[in-house]
Amino acid sequence: MPVYEYKDLLLNIIEQDSEYFGYFEAAKEHKLVVKKCLDCDLLRGEPGASCPWCSSMRSEWHEVSGKGTIYSYQIIPHAILPGFRDWTPYPVVLVELDEQSGKPLEHDGLRITANLLDENMNPEHEENVAIGKRVNVVFQDMENGLTLPQFTLSDEEPAGAIWRYPNT
């Protein structure tokens, strides 16, 4: 795979990169995948060579629905990289996917980090972001051949109360 550029950030995704290559290959097909442990059958959303639950090194890619709930979020007030200058402020969300909520322990879950976008693939407005809101994965196809899994707010009602960080 070539080097991709996203917002002035260079991404070198090589075939030998077991933690990312399969993820981005699935994204090209508009599929969201995570690693599934072949020993304990639990899923993990963030990269890592071993299972965080049983330490097994054996895993495979597993497709998930891409539906979930905002578990936490941060509004990025200024551009860390120049390419994000036109996006600020923008939300980054920690999404708890539906597939593994409350496993293996009560407060654990399958969580991944992503941008929260509106229907036009622009950053969602800060006032619309809240913990507990439902989200769906969308796939942003870039002109350079890279496809990025992102999230948008869902029309689905939250299971409980929503919460926003107070304005500071």
For 115-126, the pLDDT digits (tens) are 999 999 999 999
Residue 162 lies in a domain: no
Closest to 64 in 3D by CA, of 94, 91, 114, 26: 26
Residue 163 lies in a domain: no
Contact call for residues 131 and 73 (beta carbons, < 8 A): yes
Residue 161 lies in a domain: no
Six-digit token string for 65: 């629905």
Confidence check: pLDDT of 92 > 90: yes
Confidence check: pLDDT of 144 > 90: no
Q: What is the pLDDT of residue 35?
A: 95
Residue 159 lies in a domain: no
Helix (H) or strand (E) holding 141, with range, is strand 134-141
Round to whole Å and give the CA distance between 121 and 142. 11
Round to whole Å and give the CA distance between 43 and 112. 11
Report the pLDDT averaged over residues 16-32.
88
Round to whole Å and give the CA distance between 45 and 109. 9
Q: What are phi and psi of 127, to 5 degrees?
A: -70, -15
Q: What is the pLDDT of residue 36?
A: 96
Residue 168 lies in a domain: no
Predicted model pTM:
0.91
Q: What count of residues does the chain have?
A: 168
Residue 167 lies in a domain: no
Residue 42 lies in a domain: yes
Q: What is the pLDDT of residues 131-143, one digit of tens each?
A: 999 999 999 998 8
Confidence check: pLDDT of 128 > 90: yes
Report the pLDDT averaged over residues 85-101.
94
Categorize the per-residue pLDDT at 48 as very low, low, confident or very high, splitting at 50, 70 and 90: confident
Residue 158 lies in a domain: no
Six-digit token string for 159: 């299971």
Q: What is the pLDDT of residue 1?
A: 53
Residue in this structure with the two tokens 């913990």, named with its chain if needed:
131
| Containing structural domain, residue 44 | 3-153
Domain count, the chain: 1
* Arithmetic mean of pLDDT over the chain: 91
Q: What is the pLDDT of residues 154-166, one digit of tens each?
A: 999 999 999 998 8
